[in-house]
């Protein structure tokens, strides 16, 4: 990547009110790390389990970034504007991707990258004025994997996928990480891709990648989707059932799948990732209609949406100030109602 812009101060000037700020490291997890990861930090604003909660991302230099646009798709790749430079690669390096963890395993809060907000922090999804939580699908508790997304990917809602005959769902591509460790929200980890499932959600293609943390103790056993069947028997069936039924407790019908619910292999999955990365590049270069998607970024220098670090910091402050006011208003309403 090109050199980062000058360092910006991370001080917040003693902001008060309902705002809560916590800093933590977002380093990769796993005993005896097999591969070192770039260090990202996260900064929480607002109270967890509230509409105003946001989790912002910072890079190693302490500069605010977008986890959607500024974290590279490929691990340790030399890139300009998300485009890998030409160099020799083996099969292993071709299959290493950054994953942004949105939801730790066994939790229920539906957390997601806020694609329509500047710098795309993680927030809890809200529907009909209520925070969203997934139901427990017997016999499981919450999400049955560490759930997240690949940065620098986008499922274009205007592009018809030839393999599913449906358009994309307007989000980064989702990842189900099947390793043994429960990860933390906001972690950026290195995963290798094993396969993919095509969920059809309200007529849109919603791809679900199956992957494993490369630092997992058992990662060396897993190379393709058949290895999941071999070493984690029943996990793919549980995954299919989870996605089929997770909306039923809300009064919605069962979900459907392309390919009759068949999990496609690694080679197929890598082609899907390549396609969604190309869609993302078109989005960042303003070559397609992104609708309400926020493409603000600090590291894709040729993008018309690129902004300086001082601008990024002011955007975070502006969002945080708005969150603080909304939180105070909500507290007043709840107090009035005697809740």
pLDDT at position 93: 75
The rounded distance, in Å, linking the Cα atoms of 122 and 27 is 17
Q: Using 70 as the pLDDT threshold, list the residues of the chain that sit under it.
A: 1-38, 77-91, 323-339
Evaluate whether residue 12 is within a structural domain: no
CA 68 to chain centre: 7
pLDDT at position 94: 82
Q: Which two tokens stand for residue 148?
A: 């997240």
Note down the domain range covering 203.
Answer: 41-77+93-320
Angle at 53 between CA 49 and CA 54, to 5 degrees: 140
The rounded distance, in Å, linking the Cα atoms of 192 and 211 is 6
Evaluate whether residue 64 is within a structural domain: yes
CA dihedral 9, 14, 15, 18 (to 10 degrees): 130
pLDDT at position 321: 73
Evaluate whether residue 203 is within a structural domain: yes
Evaluate whether residue 336 is within a structural domain: no
Evaluate whether residue 50 is within a structural domain: yes
Evaluate whether residue 312 is within a structural domain: yes
56 Cβ contact partners less than 8 Å away, ≥ 6 residues apart: 42, 43, 44, 45, 64, 119, 121, 316
The rounded distance, in Å, linking the Cα atoms of 122 and 101 is 10
What's this model's pTM, rounded to 2 decimal places? 0.84
Evaluate whether residue 32 is within a structural domain: no
Q: Under a CB-based contact definition with an 8 Å cutoff, are residues 265 and 210 in contact?
A: no
HEC-encoded secondary structure of 89-144: CCHHHHCEEEEEEEECCCCCECEEECCCCCCCCEEECEECCEECECCCCCCCCCCC
- Give the ranges where the chain is alpha helix by DSSP (H): 91-94, 225-231, 235-245, 266-284, 309-336
Evaluate whether residue 88 is within a structural domain: no
- What separation in angstroms does the CA of 128 have from each of 125, 131, 170, 245, 290? 10, 8, 20, 21, 24
pLDDT at position 319: 80
Count how many domains the chain has: 1
Q: Under a CB-based contact definition with an 8 Å cutoff, are residues 64 and 5 in contact?
A: no
pLDDT at position 330: 59
pLDDT at position 19: 32
CB atoms within 10 A of CB 339: 7
Any idea what the CATH number is for the domain that residue 113 is in? 3.90.80.10
CB atoms within 10 A of CB 23: 11
């Amino acid at each position: 990547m090109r050199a980062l812009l000058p360092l910006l101060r991370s001080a917040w000037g003693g902001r008060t009110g309902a705002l809560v700020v916590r800093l933590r490291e977002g380093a990769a997890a796993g005993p005896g790390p097999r591969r070192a990861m770039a260090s990202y930090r996260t900064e929480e604003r607002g109270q967890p389990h509230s509409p105003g909660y946001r989790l912002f991302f910072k890079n190693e230099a302490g500069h605010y970034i977008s986890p959607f646009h500024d974290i590279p798709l490929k691990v340790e790749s030399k890139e300009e504007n998300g485009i890998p430079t030409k160099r020799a690669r083996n099969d292993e390096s071709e299959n290493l991707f950054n994953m942004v963890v949105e939801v730790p395993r066994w939790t229920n809060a539906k957390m997601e990258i806020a694609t329509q907000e500047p710098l795309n922090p993680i927030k809890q999804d809200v529907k009909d004025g209520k925070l969203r939580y997934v139901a427990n699908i017997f016999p499981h508790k919450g999400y049955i994997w560490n759930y997240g997304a690949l940065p620098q990917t986008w499922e274009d809602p205007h592009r018809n996928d030839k393999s599913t005959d449906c358009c994309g769902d307007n989000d980064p591509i989702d990842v189900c990480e099947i390793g043994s460790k429960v990860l933390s929200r906001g972690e950026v980890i290195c995963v290798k891709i094993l396969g993919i499932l095509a969920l059809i959600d309200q007529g849109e293609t919603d791809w679900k990648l199956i992957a494993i943390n490369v630092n997992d103790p058992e990662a060396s056993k897993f190379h393709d989707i058949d290895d999941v069947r071999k070493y984690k028997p029943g996990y793919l069936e549980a995954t299919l059932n989870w996605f089929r039924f997770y909306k039923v407790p809300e009064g919605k019908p069962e979900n459907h799948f392309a390919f009759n619910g068949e999990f496609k292999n690694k080679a197929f999955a890598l082609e899907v990732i390549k396609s969604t990365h190309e869609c993302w590049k078109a989005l960042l270069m303003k070559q397609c209609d992104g609708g309400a998607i926020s493409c603000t970024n600090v590291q894709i220098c040729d993008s018309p949406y690129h902004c300086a670090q001082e601008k990024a910091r002011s955007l975070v402050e502006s969002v945080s100030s708005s969150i603080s006011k909304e939180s105070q208003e909500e507290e007043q309403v709840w107090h009035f109602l005697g809740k």
